[in-house]
Structures are given as structure tokens and as C-alpha cells.
Amino acid sequence: MAGGRTVSRTAHFALHRLPFGAPPQSPSETGPGSKRSQALFAVEGEPWLGTIVPKRWARRAVTRNTIKRQIDAVSLDIEAHLPAAVHVVRLRAGFDKAQFPSATSVPLKRAVRAELQQLFAGALK
């Protein structure tokens, strides 16, 4: 995440944070020929959360959707404790297909949820 920093990392996930009001990387990023900086987000005051689950690490769409749903579920529990900033959860490694052969298995969901709880706990320290 350009301009943000990694605040927590686990074996499969990374959590990045960018404070509100952080300017874009360069003035040209606000539009063609623009010389002025522009706010990245219009509404501030509560945490925003985004997810990045690339095909590189989760080939099947059903697996990507399962992981995204787990991220949403865990983030709802922890959202009140996060600082007001933009947060991005990024899948940075794939889960072993030998250990989790089914794309939506209960063991996969449990493993993802446990690791996400660890990720968010690391961010709150």
C-alpha cells in the first residue's frame, strides 16, 4: 500500500494502515496535470477497511470469497478498537492445498479466522 505502513503481519496476511489526510505520493496523482493535493478520503472519524485477496494466492473464486467473508466477520468484531485510519488486509501467501483440499472447508475457515484474529491483535498492541 503506497504511503501506508505495515502494522501487523502473520504467515498468510499483512495489515497496512494509512492515516486519514495523508497526501498522495505525488501531485500528478490527483489527476492529469494537477498541481494541487487532494484528500484521499472524504469522510474521516472511523476506521475504513479494505481487502486484497489476489488470484496468485487463492486461485479459485470460491476460496477468495471465503477468505474475504472471514476478513469481514473478524473485522466487525475488532472495528471499534481500531484507530481512525484506512486499513487494508492483504493475503500475502496461499494456504496449503494438501492441508485444505476443499475451497470452503470448515478447517480452512477456522484457520483463516484464527490467523486474522492474531493479525488484528498484533495491530492493536
Structure confidence by residue, pLDDT tens digits, 14-53: 999 988 766 555 545 555 666 655 555 556 678 889 999 9
Asked whether residue 100 is assigned to any structural domain, the reply reads yes
What mean pLDDT, rounded, does the chain reach? 85
- In angstroms, the CA 86 to CA 6 distance is 12
Instruction: Kindly state whether residue 25 falls inside one of the protein's structural domains.
Output: no
How many domains is the chain built from?
Answer: 1
The whole-number average pLDDT for the span 49-74 is: 95
CB 75 within 8 A of CB 120: yes
Tell me which residue range forms the domain holding 14.
Answer: 5-20+41-124
Say if pTM beats, i.e. exceeds, 0.75: yes
Instruction: Quote the pLDDT of residue 14.
Output: 97
Residues facing 86 on adjacent strands: 18, 48
Residue 28 located in a structural domain? no
